[in-house]
Structure 1
Amino acid sequence: MSKPVGYFTNCTINYGSLLESLQEEYGSTFELMTRREKLYLISAIASQLCDQAPGRCRDEIYVVGHQVNSSLPKADKEGLLEALINQVRWGRSLSDTEVLPMK
């Protein structure tokens, strides 16, 4: 069972926030959105966060992205997406000064 959006965010009820209005419109677990709509929001948010992150991607990461999209089954892509989101939010990542050399 999915957890409500408020579990993952700082959404506080009765403060008139965007997250509160989204939950009122689409349900606390966004159950009134289609799968495609949820994936679009993931893509839009990730794209903006990527644009705001310092540094740049190594060329090999673009190749990895293509390999993932062309080779992994859907369930593994979803699992990888979940793992990456968890790592972005809670894990340690290389800083811009620690970037490994290009292959």
Structure 2
Amino acid sequence: MSKPVGYFTSYTLNDGSLLESLQEQYGSTFELMTRHEKLFLISTLAAQLCDESPGRCRDDIYVVGHQINSSLPLSDREGLLEALTGQVRWGRSLNDTEVVPMG
């Protein structure tokens, strides 16, 4: 069962925010959006966050992305999306000051 958007964000009841407006229009778990629309929003948010993040991807990460999309079944790709989202928000990642070999 999905948790409401407020569980994951700073939204509080009657705060007049964009999050409140989105919940009113699409439901507290965005149940009034299609799967395609949710995936579009995910890709839009990810692209913007990537653009704002310092550094660049190693060449082999582009290859990994292609391998994931061409070789893994849908359920594993969805699972990786969930795992990576949690790791971006709560996990440890290399930062741009750490030496990363560019392949």
Please report the TM-score for the alignment, with normalisation by the length of structure 2: 0.97
Residue equivalent to 1:60: 60
Superposed CA offset, 1:28-79 (max 9, x none): 0000000000000000000000000001111110010000000000000000
Aligned counterparts of 1:70 and 1:48: Cα–Cα separation in 2 = 24
Residue equivalent to 2:20: 20
The one-letter code of the counterpart of 2:54 is P
The one-letter code of the counterpart of 1:97 is T
Aligned counterparts of 1:53 and 1:68: Cα–Cα separation in 2 = 22
The one-letter code of the counterpart of 2:49 is L
Shift of 1:9: 0.4
Structure 2: which 5+ runs fail to align? none
- The ranges of structure 1 where at least 4 consecutive aligned residues each deviate by more than 2 angstroms after the TM superposition are none
Aligned counterparts of 1:101 and 1:11: Cα–Cα separation in 2 = 40
The one-letter code of the counterpart of 2:48 is Q
- Between 1:82-91 and 1:93-102, the stretch displaced more is 93-102
Residue equivalent to 2:100: 100
Aligned counterparts of 1:64 and 1:99: Cα–Cα separation in 2 = 20
Shift of 1:15: 1.3
Shift of 1:100: 1.8
1:31 to 1:49, Cα distance in 2 relative to 1, 3 A: same
Residue equivalent to 1:74: 74
Task: Give RMSD over aligned pairs.
Answer: 0.7
Aligned counterparts of 2:99 and 2:68: Cα–Cα separation in 1 = 22
Alignment partner of 1:50 is 2:55: no
Residue equivalent to 1:11: 11
Identity over aligned pairs, percent: 79
Aligned counterparts of 1:39 and 1:100: Cα–Cα separation in 2 = 30
Shift of 1:102: 2.3
